[in-house]
Amino acid sequence: MLAFKPPKLLNSDIATSPVIRSLKDVKLGTWNNSGLRRTQNPRFSSGVGSIRAVISSDDKNVGATVVTPVTENNGSLSSSSSSMIDVKAVITIRKKMKEKLSEKIEEQWESLINGIGQGIIIQLISEETDPVTGSGKSIESAVRDWSPKQLEESNYAGYTANFTVPSDFGCPGAILITNLHNKEFYLVEIVVYGFSDGPIFFSANSWIQSRNDNPDSRIIFRNQAYLPSQTPAGLKDLRREDLLSIRGNGKGERKYSDRIYDYAPYNDLGNPDKDDDLARPVLAGEERPYPRRCRTGRPPTKSDPYSESRIEKPHPVYVPRDETFEEIKQATFSAGRLKAVLHNLIPSLAATLSSSDNPFTCFSDIDKLYNDGFLLKHEETKDVFANLLVPMLVKKAVKAGQRLFKYEIPAIISRDRFSWLRDNEFARQTLAGVNPVNIETLKEFPILSKLDPAVYGPPESLITKELVEQELNGMSVEEAIEKKKLFILDYHDMLLPFIKKMNSLPGRKAYASRTVFFLTKTGLRPIAIELSLPPSPSSPQNKRVYAHGHDATTYWVWKLAKAHVCSNDAGVHQLVNHWLRTHASMEPYIIAAHRQLSSMHPIYKLLHPHMRYTLEINALARQSLINGGGIIEACFSPGKYAMELSSAAYKNMWRFDMEGLPADLIRRGMAVEDPSMPGGVKLVIEDYPYAADGLLIWSAIKEWVEAYVAHFYADNKSISSDVEIQAWWNEIKNKGHYDKRNEPWWPKLNTKEDLTGILTTMIWVASGQHAAINFGQYPFGGYVPNRPTLMRKLVPEEEDPDYEKFLLNPQQTFLSSIPTQLQATKVMAVQDTLSTHSPDEEYLGQLHLLHCHWINDTEILSLFKKFSSRLEEVEEIIKARNKDISLKNRTGAGVPPYELLLPLSEPGVTGRGVPNSISI
């Protein structure tokens, strides 16, 4: 546990405060009555932690800034008269971590402006109404603080404003804050002292815009949760006005400083004005349905009135101001992007100099990526640098040495470099890899397609009963299906409609695949792979079936067939399970929450940690990853049809009621209902690490949400009468997922059970589900042969002209089929970046010190403490499972433990950790 060393104070007038003296006894990471969770993450030893103390107020401990004045008489300041009360508001502002000289000078000027009361105006609004105006009682004051209180080496400053209020003013429930400066500032919180109930906290964690950019004052509510019907009379108007200001009017182009949430279709992925080949269809409507994204209001392209014009990096895509990365996250992501640029730049230069994009010629070429890295002398390429206008930052990084050009050895081969060759590892990764969400039980035989046979040929698979029964150790197919021993990874119907278009792209050759597995006493084993091409007049049944064999030729053909399956799995993982089912589907929930739920609504307070950074990372993805000509198109099999494939998956298989973990497992036949088990289901394969660990996380979330909902809603009528929660859910269905608005499977929202189920699903998707399919991308995909993201050749057949070459050098055929060196290094760089935890990550069950005053409710804080403790137990259970030698999918010689759902992580590529939100 980390001890908290009290920093030296600059302000001598508060240095002797008992508040400050109490800092000596503060230990970071322990529980206090405010509900802070114990953490082992060293990042909490500095930064915002250095401005927190514990103030005793009778039997209550309340977190506050150390810059607050000493209070007397249970937190009240002395009254100036019997009918008036002296009140002080302490405003905490976060400054930049690294300031330029000009910014420091500007800061001094701002302090001067504040000192004369011309910088920040704040207005206290009472929960009680003024009988004259019918609105909340109010009183206004200006910050008059010549020298802000601050801590040495801290980027937080405290200002004060003094009020004299009538004794019958009532409890302040809101603050209006007006920024008279010429630029924005980041408001952490305002604490009001002087009222009989002790300090009153107004948590903000928000950018306050200059009046020049937004003439309206910002409304900050105190940390008391109210359902709409419970809103104090003095705050009702402000509650409504605040929501109206966030929604905007749906017109005009959004400015960087705006805090407006609205919807738009995915019509900004293409760039037809730049190149006809970069035109992309709009993802919206019956033909190509898709969730909605955050509206930016940019004008249409000149070439296509239905497509929105693009903003190319480094210029930012609009997201509401509070959704942007904080400084430490921005620095981390920039470093990740720099690393990606380097990894892209170096092979690009090599390709430019050699006039070709070379395949790997031997496996040692791949090993060099980790052992030697890229060797490139700056002197030999200075003209190329000049022509490419490489930023100075990159030049310096290149000069820094070879270290930046070397990849870390991925976990999958650091323990056993040959594991990827084996069938048991191929099967294990369907249960414990980066994409463990597509395997399902085989429910019928023969295997049938649901595609139109008039277009796609006979629906029957060529995987025959005889072929399967050869591998069943005397068991019949019917018996194996009944005993749930046969499983399938089926990408046939999803991919076949796209195969012809994909294979028309240069350097792309793909099949629609089916893979059948048999569960033996020693684990899952692949027994047959079917690879299909679209039917042709000469070959209406254009399918081939492969089985593992014992001769050299069959062995290499089987290896190539597995590589094609892995390539399909990588594409479906990235475009469907990762992007669509977590990133894209979550965005409408977030937009609707801001538009329809007041920040004082208890459900908004519950969801708020699970919305952090998602809109910003999605905007960056639309700009650089999933856009026309972006990294995903360049490096994955579907190429320019990638997002159309994602749209087809949304159309054919996405349904909200199946996005919860138990429902998804039951749908895939991987579990059956069992109320006595975690999540209410029993796994068909006990050694299914993703599902087994995920159900522990799911159950902890559900228990926490269930108790939270029960605390605020007395009965089901209070759910149906909650106008904000009903508007939120209706907007998610009818605007955010507009193309699915008429589906009959949307859950109702009439009961506490309904609300618990909806919220648990959303929190699971944002936390556990995203973690399970995101942070293993580099650990599993960082070694190209294990998980090629595209294939460049079909499996050789005897009638092919290159079949003899295959027989003479099968290794060369394999290496020339997987991504080239440039493609591989590009996707490795991206996977490395996407698998990285930021130093400011907020993990499930943790309470960030910035948000320790998120709610004024001791029972909720106690429930959160219970949730946090439960997740600590989950962590110990997972660690114990990873040492259980009977669980072969997570233990054994060279087998990496399954850690993707361990709740906590250090920064970096760790292959573990469950953040609260989709933040990368």
Percent of the chain with pLDDT over 70: 81
| 583 given a catalytic annotation | yes
The more confidently predicted of residues 73 and 820 is 820
pLDDT of amino acid 822: 81
Tokens of 51: 């401005």
The answer to whether 915 touches 842, Cβ cutoff 8 Å, is yes
The DSSP secondary structure of 486-537, one letter per residue, reads: EEEEE-HHHHHHHHHHHHTSTT----EEEEEEEEETTEEEEEEEEEE---BT
Q: How many CB atoms lie within 10 A of CB 196?
A: 11
- CATH number of the domain at 131, please: 2.60.60.20
Query: Mean pLDDT lowest for which of 308-317, 502-511, 544-553, 699-708?
Result: 308-317
Q: Which of 520, 540, 574 is the last residue of a domain?
A: 574
Task: List the catalytic residue out of 120, 499, 855, 920.
Answer: 920
Q: For residue 274, give the 3-state DSSP assignment.
A: coil
* Residue 27 predicted with pLDDT over 60: no
Q: Which of 512, 542, 574 is the last residue of a domain?
A: 574
Tokens of 704: 């926490």
* Averaged confidence pLDDT in the chain: 84
Q: Write out pLDDT tens, residues 236-274.
A: 999 999 999 999 999 999 999 999 999 999 999 999 999
The answer to whether 438 touches 429, Cβ cutoff 8 Å, is no
Tokens of 24: 């000596």
Tell me if 119 is assigned to some domain: yes
Say how far apart CA 193 and CA 740 lie, in whole Å.
50
Task: List the catalytic residue out of 343, 583, 610, 853.
Answer: 583
Tell me if 171 is assigned to some domain: yes
Task: List the catalytic residue out of 492, 548, 573, 578.
Answer: 578
Q: Write out pLDDT tens, residues 359-400.
A: 899 999 898 888 776 544 444 344 333 333 333 333 334 444
Tokens of 863: 């429930």
Band of residue 324 on the pLDDT scale cut at 50, 70, 90? confident
Residues near 39 by Cβ (< 8 Å), separated by ≥ 6? 28, 29, 846, 904
Q: How many CB atoms lie within 10 A of CB 674?
A: 12
The answer to whether 906 touches 912, Cβ cutoff 8 Å, is no
Say how far apart CA 499 and CA 510 lie, in whole Å.
6
Residues near 63 by Cβ (< 8 Å), separated by ≥ 6? 32, 34, 36, 52, 53, 54, 55, 849, 852, 853
Q: For residue 649, give the 3-state DSSP assignment.
A: helix
Tell me if 280 is assigned to some domain: no
Residues near 897 by Cβ (< 8 Å), separated by ≥ 6? 882, 890, 891
Taking residues 104-112, report their average pLDDT.
Answer: 69
Residue with tokens 């082992």: 40
Taking residues 498-518, report their average pLDDT.
Answer: 97
Nearest to 914 by CA among 898, 762, 905: 905
pLDDT of amino acid 829: 80
| 920 given a catalytic annotation | yes
Percent of the chain with pLDDT over 90: 69
| 529 given a catalytic annotation | no
Gyration radius of the chain over CA positions: 30
Say how far apart CA 2 and CA 39 lie, in whole Å.
9
Tell me if 456 is assigned to some domain: yes
- CATH number of the domain at 556, please: 3.10.450.60
Tell me if 136 is assigned to some domain: yes
The answer to whether 641 touches 738, Cβ cutoff 8 Å, is no
Tell me if 54 is assigned to some domain: no
Band of residue 304 on the pLDDT scale cut at 50, 70, 90? very high
Residues near 289 by Cβ (< 8 Å), separated by ≥ 6? 283, 647, 650, 651, 739, 740
Residues in a beta bridge with 89: 161, 192
Task: List the catalytic residue out of 548, 770, 837, 853.
Answer: 770
Taking residues 772-799, report their average pLDDT.
Answer: 95
Query: Mean pLDDT lowest for which of 97-111, 212-226, 500-514?
Result: 97-111
Q: How many CB atoms lie within 10 A of CB 312?
A: 11
Q: Write out pLDDT tens, residues 138-185.
A: 999 999 876 666 554 467 888 899 999 999 999 999 999 999 998 999
pLDDT of amino acid 374: 57
Q: Which of 223, 255, 278 is the last residue of a domain?
A: 223
Tell me if 502 is assigned to some domain: yes
Give me the number of domains the chain comprises. Answer: 2
* Residue 497 predicted with pLDDT over 90: yes
The answer to whether 307 touches 322, Cβ cutoff 8 Å, is no
* Residue 756 predicted with pLDDT over 80: yes
pLDDT of amino acid 565: 98
Tell me if 452 is assigned to some domain: yes
Q: For residue 156, give the 3-state DSSP assignment.
A: strand
Nearest to 318 by CA among 270, 267, 255, 266: 255
Nearest to 704 by CA among 584, 588, 607: 607
- Measured between its terminal Cα atoms, the distance across the chain in Å is 28
Domain that holds residue 134: 84-223
Query: Mean pLDDT lowest for which of 349-358, 600-609, 691-700?
Result: 349-358
Residue with tokens 């650990």: 779
Band of residue 281 on the pLDDT scale cut at 50, 70, 90? very high
Nearest to 803 by CA among 557, 567, 561: 557
Say how far apart CA 418 and CA 607 lie, in whole Å.
44
Nearest to 824 by CA among 870, 786, 850: 786
Q: Write out pLDDT tens, residues 391-420.
A: 333 333 444 443 345 788 998 899 999 999
Say how far apart CA 98 and CA 219 lie, in whole Å.
29
* Residue 202 predicted with pLDDT over 90: yes
* Residue 858 predicted with pLDDT over 60: yes
Task: List the catalytic residue out of 542, 774, 889, 916.
Answer: 774
Q: For residue 118, give the 3-state DSSP assignment.
A: coil
